[in-house]
C-alpha cells in the first residue's frame, strides 16, 4: 500500500510508505487532503525526487483498467465501471415528453433554432464514455507524476464478426438485401413460423416481437423474432419475456469502441502530448508471453510497458453514477388524477445520495433514501448491506 503525496503547490510527487506519512503528519509537516485513495499534502517546500512512471489505460465501454507503474513496482491500479443506463433514461424522458404533448398543459413557446447538432457531436451515452476516460487519466495525474501514457484503442469489423467469410461486394449487400423492410426479412428468416409454439397454435396472425426493450435493443434483426398473436399475447400477459434470449449478442459495444477510439485519443493528445496508442493484439501477446491472467488491471499493466512490475496489493474500484434525477413525478397516476413526486430532498438528515457512510463498522454507500430517514445501503459493487437502515 502507498500513500500519495502532493507538494505545497498541489503538484504530485512520488508516493511514500504509510510509516513515513504518519511521521510527517505527527510532526505537522503534512496534512490529509483525501481519504480514498489516502493522499497527503506537504506543508513545506520540496523539490521532490521523481522517477519515470508509465500509465496504461485499457479502454472499454463498460469497464476501464488503469495501471501506473515504474520498472519494478505498481504504484496504482484501478478498475472503473462506466454508466450503462444513459440510453434507457433518455428513451424514458422522450416517452414522457411525447405523452405530455397530448395533455392540456401550459403553453410552451415553439423553438426551431435548436435542432442542429454541432460538428463532432456524439450520442450522450458515447460522449459519457469518452469524457470518463479523459477524466480518469486526469485523476491519476493528480496523484502521481506520470511521464508516459499508453492507451489501447480498438476497431471492430462488425460485418466480419457476423460473417467471417465476408469479402468484396458482400459488404454492400447485407442480409436484408431484396426485402422491403426489417419485418419482412424477420418473417422470411423464421420461415413464417411462430418460434415459441412452432405453429402448434394454428394462429395465422404473426407478430414481430422485440426480445430486448426497443429502448435499448433497437430494431435490429437480431433483436426480433416471429411469434403468433396467441403466443405473443400470452408471453406479455404472463411476464415470460425473460425466457427468450437473443440468438446473437448485440454489437453495440463493438460499434461504440470503433467510434470512441479517436475521440479518446484526440482528447488526451490535446492535454498530454506524450500520450501513445497501442492495440489489443499487442496487449494479448505480452500477457500470454508473461503468463499473466486475463483482467482489466493486468491488461492495463501490460499496456503500461511493465507487465512484471510487482503489484502493491491494493486495487481501487471506481463507479460512475448520475448526479441528479430531474424527473419530477412518478409515471403511475394515483387516485384522483394526482402524480406522486419522484424526488426526495437532496439532503435527508444531513446525508445525500451516494455518500460514503459507516454502518455497524462496515463502510458502504447510500444507494437510496426516504424522507423519513431510512436508507438503502450497499457496497460499491451493488452488494446489499441493509435495505432500510435508520439514520440514527
pLDDT tens-digit profile of 239-257? 888 888 888 778 888 888 8
**Which domain covers residue 17, as residue numbers?**
3-42
Least-confidence region, from 107-121, 176-190, 295-309: 107-121
The CATH number linked to 296 is 3.30.420.10
- Among 319, 334, 361, give the residue marking a domain's end: 319
Cell of 12: 504530485
- Our count of domains for the chain comes to 4
pLDDT value, residue 356: 92
198 phi-psi bin (left φ>0, alpha ψ -120 to 50, beta other) = left
Calpha distance 308→316 (Å, rounded): 20
Q: Are residues 147 and 278 in the same domain?
A: yes
Binned at pLDDT 50, 70 and 90, residue 166 comes out as confident
Examine the domain organization and report whether 74 and 141 are in the same domain. Answer: yes
Q: Tell me the three cell numbers of residue 364.
A: 458502504
At residue 92's C-alpha, the angle toward residues 86 and 98, to 5°, is 135
Whole-number pLDDT of residue 279: 92
Rounded distance between C-alpha atoms, residue 274 and residue 262, angstroms: 16
The pLDDT, as a whole number, for residue 171 is 84
Residues 273 and 314 in one domain: yes
Domain match, 75 and 131 both = yes
My answer on whether 232 and 358 are in the same domain is: no
Decide if 240 is inside a domain.
yes
Residue 295 pLDDT exceeds 80: yes
* Same domain for 224 and 347: no
Confidence at residue 289, expressed as pLDDT on a 0 to 100 scale: 93
Looking at the fold, whether 348 and 376 belong to one and the same domain comes out as yes
Residue 91 lies in a domain: no
Q: Enter the pTM of the model.
A: 0.86
* Together in a domain, 333 and 377: yes
Q: Which residue has the higher pLDDT, 324 or 104?
A: 324
Tens-place pLDDT, residues 28-61: 999 999 998 999 999 988 777 889 999 999 999 9
Chain segment 168-193, per-residue pLDDT in tens: 888 888 888 888 999 999 999 999 99
Residues 73 and 141 both lie in one domain: yes
Share of the chain above pLDDT 90, in %: 56
- Per DSSP, the residues of 166-195 read --GGGGTS-TTTT-SSHHHHHHHHTTTS-T
266 exposure class (CB count in 10 Å sphere: 0-12, 13-18, 19+): exposed
Same domain, residue pair 256 and 153: yes
What percent of the chain is modeled with pLDDT above 70?
Answer: 98
Convert the pLDDT of each residue in 134-144 to its tens digit. 999 999 999 99
Q: Confidence class of residue 234 from pLDDT cuts 50, 70 and 90? A: very high
Amino acid at each position: 500500500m502507498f500513500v500519495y503525496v502532493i507538494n505545497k503547490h498541489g503538484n504530485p510527487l512520488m508516493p511514500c510508505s504509510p510509516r513515513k506519512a504518519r511521521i510527517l503528519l505527527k510532526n505537522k509537516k503534512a496534512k490529509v487532503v483525501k481519504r480514498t485513495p489516502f493522499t497527503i499534502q506537504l506543508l513545506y517546500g520540496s523539490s521532490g525526487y521523481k522517477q519515470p512512471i508509465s500509465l496504461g489505460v485499457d479502454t472499454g465501454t463498460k469497464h476501464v483498467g488503469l495501471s501506473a507503474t515504474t520498472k519494478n513496482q505498481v504504484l496504482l491500479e484501478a478498475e472503473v465501471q462506466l454508466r450503462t443506463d444513459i440510453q434507457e433514461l433518455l428513451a424514458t424522458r422522450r416517452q414522457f415528453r411525447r405523452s405530455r404533448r397530448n395533455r392540456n398543459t401550459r403553453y410552451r413557446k415553439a423553438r426551431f433554432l435548436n435542432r442542429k447538432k454541432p460538428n463532432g457531436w456524439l450520442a450522450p451515452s458515447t460522449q459519457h464514455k469518452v469524457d470518463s476516460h479523459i477524466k480518469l487519466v486526469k485523476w491519476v495525474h493528480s496523484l502521481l507524476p506520470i511521464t508516459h501514457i499508453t492507451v489501447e484503442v480498438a476497431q471492430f469489423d462488425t460485418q466480419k464478426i457476423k460473417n467471417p467469410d465476408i469479402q468484396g461486394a458482400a459488404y454492400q449487400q447485407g442480409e436484408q438485401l431484396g426485402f422491403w423492410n426489417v419485418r419482412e426479412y424477420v418473417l422470411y428468416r423464421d420461415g413464417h413460423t411462430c418460434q415459441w409454439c412452432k405453429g402448434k397454435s394454428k394462429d395465422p396472425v404473426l407478430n414481430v416481437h422485440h426480445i430486448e426493450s426497443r429502448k435499448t435493443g433497437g430494431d435490429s434483426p437480431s433483436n426480433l423474432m416471429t411469434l403468433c398473436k396467441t403466443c405473443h399475447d400470452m408471453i406479455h400477459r404472463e411476464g415470460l419475456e425473460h425466457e427468450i434470449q437473443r440468438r446473437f449478442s448485440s454489437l453495440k459495444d463493438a460499434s461504440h469502441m470503433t467510434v470512441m477510439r479517436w475521440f479518446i485519443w484526440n482528447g488526451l493528445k490535446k492535454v498530454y502530448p506524450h500520450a501513445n496508442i497501442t492495440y489489443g493484439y499487442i496487449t494479448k501477446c505480452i500477457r500470454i508471453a508473461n503468463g499473466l491472467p486475463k483482467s482489466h488491471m493486468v491488461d492495463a499493466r501490460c499496456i503500461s510497458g511493465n507487465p512484471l512490475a510487482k503489484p502493491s496489493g491494493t486495487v481501487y474500484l471506481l463507479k460512475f453514477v448520475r448526479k441528479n434525477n430531474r424527473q419530477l413525478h412518478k409515471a403511475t397516476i394515483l387516485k384522483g388524477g394526482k402524480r406522486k413526486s419522484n424526488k426526495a430532498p437532496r439532503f435527508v438528515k444531513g446525508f445525500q445520495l451516494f455518500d460514503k457512510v459507516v454502518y455497524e463498522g462496515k463502510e458502504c454507500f447510500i444507494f437510496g433514501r426516504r424522507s423519513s430517514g431510512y436508507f438503502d445501503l450497499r457496497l460499491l459493487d451493488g452488494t446489499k448491506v441493509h435495505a432500510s437502515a435508520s439514520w440514527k
